[in-house]
Structure 1
Amino acid sequence: MAYGEPRLTNDIDIIAAIEEKHIAGLLSAFSLDEFYISEDMIRDAIKHQGQFNIIHPASGLKVDIIIKRDTPFDSSRFKRLRRIYPAESYQANFSAPEDVIIKKMEFYQEGGSEKHLRDIAGILKVSGNEVDKEYISEWARRLGLTEIWDAMLRRLSEKS
């Protein structure tokens, strides 16, 4: 995790602006002998702004490719991407910590998994002074996440 405390994870999540015209190139980038990737799943994900997987069975690595949605929030978070250099030999774009927190709150609201709240707490613990809480509060209000955000802030203030 780029902003919080590391945890063992089962997958990697990537948000991508993939369109029909990208499918052939994406499929050709992964050897079908080594990876599981389904053209039908890609097409369905694009059509419904959902997600599909790329799986490397030999290692157990699973990458969830989440299609960028045509929403004000996704537009905002794509404008706020941060380029991080995890190693000298490559770079990657990551969502800003505020946007990760907002998505984690959405995931929590959808499925209720405590791991999302732990991730949020970890981000605030490690990157707290750098996090724009006003930005999060505004998007929490707009996305109906205020109750979760307020509970997180209360939880953190009780631990301080």
Structure 2
Amino acid sequence: MNTLISQKRSLRRRSKKDTVNFEQIALRVAEILKAQDIPYMFTGALAVNYHGKPRMTHDIDVVVLLRKENVPQLKKIFDEDFFIDEESIFAALKENSMFNIIHKETGLKVDFWIRKNDDYSQEAFRRRGWYPYQGTEICLATPEDMIIEKLEWFKRSEIDKHYFDALGIYRIQKEKLDIRHIDFWCQQKSIQEIWERIKAKDRP
């Protein structure tokens, strides 16, 4: 892991202009996961930008349902364009946590989150959907589940960007949202008060 961090810092010091953009890297990740039959969904800033108010980002977050037998082939394929550490993948599987890979040319980091087994994580993963993106389709967390995720992060960190990410999604998607789904899980996660503040922002 320390080697990957060092490599990323080195890449960020490069002065040459990046020739591969964020969208192309996201599409490449999606293409590989789909080809390897690994269920996934993008979350984080990519899903926020899709469902809500776009903002700058330098990272990609993706939840995966990964098995040990997937790892050797996954490393072999990603190894061409990314720094990837096989040991960190096995550690993430064992700890049900996350690992990352770093794009060699741009230094952009992709965080892979192993899907957790609690009721909400399974439900959010089941609800994920395919959305048009850059001339193809990719799998994203739903706007409802991105609101829940962002409110959880805001409660945990008190970093304002998470609150405003949730607010942006709500304002843009509110006519299409399954409010009962958000209400239920916000109550379960003790973030109902923050959710009510989001809804109150849009009342006359």
TM-score normalised to structure 2 length:
0.72
Is 1:149 the counterpart of 2:195 in the alignment? yes
Question: How far, CA to CA, are the matches of 2:53 and 2:68 in structure 1?
Answer: 36
Aligned-pair RMSD on alpha carbons? 1.5
Cα deviation 1:115-150 (Å, max 9, x = unaligned): 111111110121111111221010011112112212
- What's 1:94 paired with? 140
How many residues end up aligned between the 2 structures? 156
Note the 1:105-124 alignment, pairs <5 A: 105-124=151-170
- What's 1:126 paired with? 172
Deviates more, 1:52-61 or 1:133-142: 52-61
Question: How far, CA to CA, are the matches of 1:9 and 1:156 in structure 2?
Answer: 26
Is 1:36 the counterpart of 2:83 in the alignment? yes
* Counterpart residue identity of residue 9, structure 1: T
Question: How far, CA to CA, are the matches of 2:115 and 2:190 in structure 1?
Answer: 20
Identity of aligned residues (%): 29
Contact 1:121–1:156 under 8 Å retained in 2: no
- What's 1:103 paired with? 149
Deviation for aligned residue 1:106: 1.4
TM-score normalised to structure 1 length:
0.90
- Structure 1 residues without counterparts, runs of 5 or longer: none
Question: How far, CA to CA, are the matches of 1:21 and 1:71 in structure 2?
Answer: 23
Contact 1:105–1:145 under 8 Å retained in 2: yes
Question: How far, CA to CA, are the matches of 2:64 and 2:167 in structure 1?
Answer: 26
Runs ≥4 residues deviating over 6 A: none
- Structure 2 residues without counterparts, runs of 5 or longer: 1-48
Question: How far, CA to CA, are the matches of 1:13 and 1:25 in structure 2?
Answer: 21
* Counterpart residue identity of residue 183, structure 2: S
Helix, strand or coil at the partner of 2:197: helix
Is 1:140 the counterpart of 2:186 in the alignment? yes
Deviation for aligned residue 1:91: 1.5
